[in-house]
Amino acid sequence: MQRFLFLSLLFAAWGVDAAAYDSLTYALNQQTLVKDLRAQCEIKPSVPDEQIKKVFISTEVNHNALSAAAVALKEGKQAQYQQLLNTVRCPEFNSH
């Protein structure tokens, strides 16, 4: 019984660590996407990250390309990530 309890606690702790790691990975990948979009589309530093996300995700073409790019980035497929990023259409941020 003690062994079962120990293993249950161990797996529960591992699950929390895995979830924290996944959250950190997601945040870092999201940060990388925003940084790369800023560079590619020459977006001014004064434009907030949240506005960048909102504008890019609001169009279906960009949404699909960025979703696929995020998967490629997560899977470590840098060439595919870059290729997908190059298909993104750069919107104007002056009017937003």
Please write down the HEC assignment for all residues of 29-95: HHHHHHHHHHHHHCCCCCCCHHHHHHHHHCCHHHHHHHHHHHHHHHCCCHHHHHHHHCCCCCCCCCC
pLDDT (0 to 100) of residue 82 = 95
Whether 64 is covered by a domain: the verdict is yes
Q: What is the pLDDT of residue 9?
A: 43
In a domain, residue 21? The reply is yes
pLDDT along the chain (96 residues), means of 10: 48 49 71 93 93 87 89 93 93 66
Residue 91 is predicted with a pLDDT of 87
**Whole-structure pTM value:** 0.71
Residue 41 lies in a domain: yes
**CB-based contact 53:91 (threshold 8 Å):** no
14 is written with which tokens?
């591992």
Q: Is position 91 within any domain?
A: no
Residue 90 lies in a domain: no
Total structural domains in the chain? 1
In a domain, 61, yes or no: yes
Distance CA 39, CA 13 (A): 39
- Give the domain extent around 9: 2-85
pLDDT at 60: 84
* pLDDT of amino acid 44: 93
Provide the pLDDT for residue 30: 87
Domain contains 93: no
